[in-house]
Amino acid sequence: MPDFSPVLDKLAALLTYDAAHPILFSSGLFLFLFAGFTFFYQFMRRTVALRLLYVVLFSLYFYYKTSGMYYLLLVALSFSDFTIGYCLTVTQRKWVRRMLVALSLTIDLGVLCYFKYTNFFIGIANDLAGHDWLNFRNIFLPVGISFFLFQSISYIIDLYKRRIEPAHQWIDYLFYLSFFPQLVAGPIVKARDFLPQIRRNPLVVTKAMFGTGLFLIIAGLFKKAVISDYISLNFVDRVFDNPMLYSGFENLMGIYGYAMQIYCDFSGYSDMAIGLALLLGFHFPKNFDSPYKSATITEFWRRWHISLSSWLRDYLYIPLGGSRKGKVRTYINLMITMLLGGLWHGAAWRFVLWGGLHGAGLAVHKFVMARFPSFRTLGSEMPWWRRVPGILITFHFVCLGWIFFRATDLQTGWNMIRQVFTDFNAALIPDVVAGYRAVFALILIGYLLHLLPDRLESVGERFVARTPFVFQTLLIAALIWGIMQIKSSDIQPFIYFQF
């Protein structure tokens, strides 16, 4: 009698959550599951109710494979805000509507604070008390909780402001919050952009959409699995883990390497999310636009993590008063927005410092533009003789922030800066470059691709979109084979999973 136990073991592993190996877009398991998912999806695209249920169930399974039973928390929060949103649409009394918004924010921010900031606040309380009068708790942070809660908050606020129509049914809202391409690391999709797409029928995937989606998936896989993972494991992590063991040059290269690593990691995820959504017939907004081409810190935040920066602008900066209440208040609003934006990234003082640094940079740039009207020119309209040095200054300002963003603590960040300025040791440069030849080559390739004109990226996108399906399949198979050849360990989790 045949032994089916190996097959059953593999099936059990496929269906159960493994905390040590959460499912990732860049893993072979996900690509296999997605291929099976899309096969059956093709038969359901024109039946709205069946399509919604099918995608929601797969999305919840996907979230279960990343965070275990916390998928129930996602379901509960979706029901809570859908119910509050429904109540907002059927009542006209201002005080009731305000109370409903306050209730929603209390629930959403309360959940976020518990999972993300409990130990941070316990640490502050213990420091103020001078002894450990509160015990730290072992709290698991559900993957992507910051992203789907921000989406839910934007839905409630937009309903309160009467900017959008409510979701038709609870399953529509659950679909919006749980849609797997952007569930765990964004982009943060606003309800007004996504809800109208959910019940569109027929849901069409044109040849151009398919080709563009495939191009974005290929680009995202290359950024994440080839560039980001390799330079992280083989150089960047080593330097940041113990910067005092390395020369100032190696520390500087580690900083430049991390700037490229985090860009390739996060923009790679966003590219794959946008591409996967296109293959299913949905459109997401662009999340990255070559941010290291920015000539000012203001331009950087219009190009980096666009969905977060626009969320902070629409739901925090503008409600605080924006730039409508005088110059001093504008600078204060910028600082508050970026300090909270830094804290959103993580419960540690280094993230607060990172946010404060960017807030100060934005405030200074705002001040300079007010004093010198010629500096109000942004983007490609800026003359080259100002744009080139502007790009170099902005890039190094951003890299300064990345030091504290990545370092395990503030002291490690200061140690890296001290090493760069006091122990550069230029004589070691040839040996360091020779020892890390592949790492530096990939970092260089990353920056060169990043600095290419946008029109060349469009050419590559159109080329992939117009090629036959067989060629597209061979292209992605070749990329996956290449990834398997160069990877030195298991595929690394995306950096923004921790946020």
| Sequential pLDDT tens for the chain (499 residues) | 555 566 566 666 667 777 677 777 767 778 778 888 888 888 887 788 899 999 999 999 999 988 888 999 999 999 999 999 999 999 889 999 999 999 999 999 999 999 998 888 888 888 778 777 778 778 888 888 889 999 999 999 999 999 999 998 999 999 999 999 988 777 899 999 999 999 888 888 888 888 888 889 888 988 988 899 999 999 999 999 999 999 999 999 999 999 999 999 999 989 999 999 999 999 998 999 999 999 999 999 999 999 999 999 999 999 999 888 888 899 999 999 999 999 998 888 999 999 999 999 999 999 888 887 766 666 667 777 888 999 999 999 999 999 999 999 999 999 999 999 999 988 899 999 999 999 999 999 999 999 888 787 778 777 777 777 777 777 777 766 666 665 555 566 666 666 6
Residue 486 confidence (pLDDT): 59
Two tokens, residue 395 = 């890039």
In the 8-state DSSP scheme, what is residue 199?
T
> For residue 4, how many other CB atoms are within 10 A of its CB?
9
Judge contact between 51 and 45, C-beta under 8 A: yes
- Per-residue confidence (pLDDT) for residue 205, from 0 to 100: 84
How far is residue 291's CA from residue 395's CA, in Å, rounded to a whole number?
A: 9
Annotated catalytic residue, options 305, 345, 358, 365: 345
pLDDT at 123: 83
Q: Alpha helices, DSSP H only, in 316-423? A: 327-345, 349-371, 384-406, 410-422
Nearest 10 degrees: Cα torsion 79, 55, 267, 64: 70
Which pLDDT does position 241 carry in this prediction? 93
Rounded to an integer, what is the distance from CA 183 to the centroid of its chain?
A: 10
Question: Is there a catalytic annotation at residue 345?
Answer: yes
**Among the listed residues 163, 158, 182, 21, the one whose alpha carbon sits nearest the alpha carbon of residue 84:** 158
Contacts of 401 (CB under 8 A, 6+ apart): 354, 357, 358
Take residue 100 and report the two structure tokens written for it.
């409903």
